[in-house]
């Protein structure tokens, strides 16, 4: 399986924050959801992926190519969508097309106008008058009009109403049908990922905790609930993190076999949602 993005040992240091030793592979032909708490380092990583920021250490390759030598060739093949207005606000969609289209070898006017129609975007109205959803659609229409193989999106669904969010996810799914396209996007809305993601990459405090298929994530983690008196120093070793409440404990495990051996039927073992996993891993993966 080919990787369209490869981070090898990537580190970026800011004054108060470091993205550390990231080894990340984004697989061609799949949707990867990029999750993590506020300030975990997702946008910083995406900016490095787009060469808007340079790593201090490590290597980043897209389509097997290096930005130092192949920036233009790489950017031709990427559609970048991010939360916020990318364009000069006084411009309309026609102006933007005039400016952006010549920059891409594979720009396709027909596709552009198809998306303008599909998204019901006005061509002659200033972008500054667009709602958040319309701005997102505008950004997406541009990204899709040059036949990008890799779509990178920083929180594309943030602030969108549930109906447009659903439509956007359906559209992303349609885009994946040809099999060659790859989508990488960050989000806080983990239920969106249950809908469309094949892989989940999870950042925590500047580190990549895992990058696994959504199937493996579901297999590897489970939530365990039981009475507080079942917990002691030894039994807790089966857990990554334990939350105690007066009514009992809830814990995350990556070893359901051990949990079954230790606790038998005295605990309930349930599917762990991505939110459960994010909550319990907020201190990182160390066994209790």
Contacts with ligand ATP, residue ranges (CB under 6 A): 14-15, 17, 36, 38-44
Closest approach, Cβ 12 to ligand ATP, in A, equals 9
Closest approach, Cβ 17 to ligand ATP, in A, equals 4
**Between 49 and 142, CB nearer to ligand ATP:** 49
Tell me if 124 sits within 8 A of 94, measured CB to CB. yes
**Between 160 and 238, CB nearer to ligand ATP:** 160
Say if strands 65-66 and 150-154 run parallel, antiparallel, or are unpaired: unpaired
**Between 113 and 279, CB nearer to ligand ATP:** 279
d(CA 83, CA 144): 16
Tell me if 186 sits within 8 A of 42, measured CB to CB. yes
Residues 6 or more apart in contact with residue 233 via CB below 8 angstroms: none
Closest approach, Cβ 88 to ligand ATP, in A, equals 22
Tokens of 255: 């070893």
Residues 6 or more apart in contact with residue 52 via CB below 8 angstroms: none
Closest approach, Cβ 40 to ligand ATP, in A, equals 4
Closest approach, Cβ 139 to ligand ATP, in A, equals 17
d(CA 43, CA 63): 20
**Between 43 and 260, CB nearer to ligand ATP:** 43
d(CA 134, CA 146): 19
Tell me if 223 sits within 8 A of 252, measured CB to CB. yes
**Between 42 and 146, CB nearer to ligand ATP:** 42
Closest approach, Cβ 192 to ligand ATP, in A, equals 14
**Between 41 and 226, CB nearer to ligand ATP:** 41
Q: Give pairs for 50-57: CB < 8 Å, separation 24+.
A: 50/78, 50/80, 50/152, 51/75, 53/12, 54/12, 55/10, 55/11, 55/12, 56/11, 56/12, 56/13, 57/9, 57/10, 57/11
Closest approach, Cβ 43 to ligand ATP, in A, equals 3
Residues 6 or more apart in contact with residue 110 via CB below 8 angstroms: none
**Between 54 and 237, CB nearer to ligand ATP:** 54
């Amino acid at each position: 399986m080919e990787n369209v993005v490869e981070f090898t040992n990537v580190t970026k240091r800011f004054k108060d924050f470091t993205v550390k030793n990231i080894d990340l592979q984004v697989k061609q032909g799949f949707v990867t959801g990029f999750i993590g708490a506020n300030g975990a380092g997702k946008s910083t990583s995406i900016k490095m992926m787009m060469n808007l920021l340079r790593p201090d250490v490590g290597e980043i390759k897209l389509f097997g190519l290096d930005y130092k030598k192949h920036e233009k060739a790489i950017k031709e093949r990427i559609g970048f969508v991010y939360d916020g207005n990318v364009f000069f606000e006084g411009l309309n969609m026609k102006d933007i097309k005039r400016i952006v289209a010549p920059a891409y070898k594979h720009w396709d006017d027909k596709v552009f106008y198809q998306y303008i129609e599909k998204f019901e975007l006005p061509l002659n109205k200033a972008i500054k008058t667009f709602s958040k959803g319309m701005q997102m659609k505008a950004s997406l229409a541009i990204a899709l009009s040059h036949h990008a193989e890799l779509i990178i999106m920083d929180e594309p669904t943030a602030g969108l109403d549930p109906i447009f969010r659903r439509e956007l996810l359906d559209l992303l799914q349609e885009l994946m049908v040809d099999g060659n396209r790859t989508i990488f996007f960050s989000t806080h809305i983990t239920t969106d990922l249950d809908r469309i993601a094949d892989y989940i990459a999870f950042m925590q405090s500047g580190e990549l905790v895992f990058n696994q298929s959504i199937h493996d994530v579901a297999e590897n983690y489970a939530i365990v609930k039981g009475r507080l008196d079942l917990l002691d120093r030894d039994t807790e070793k089966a857990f990554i993190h334990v939350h105690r409440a007066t009514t009992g404990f809830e814990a995350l495990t990556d070893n359901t076999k051990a949990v079954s051996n230790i606790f038998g039927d005295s605990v309930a073992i349930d599917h762990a949602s991505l939110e459960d996993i994010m909550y319990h891993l907020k201190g990182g993966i160390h066994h209790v």
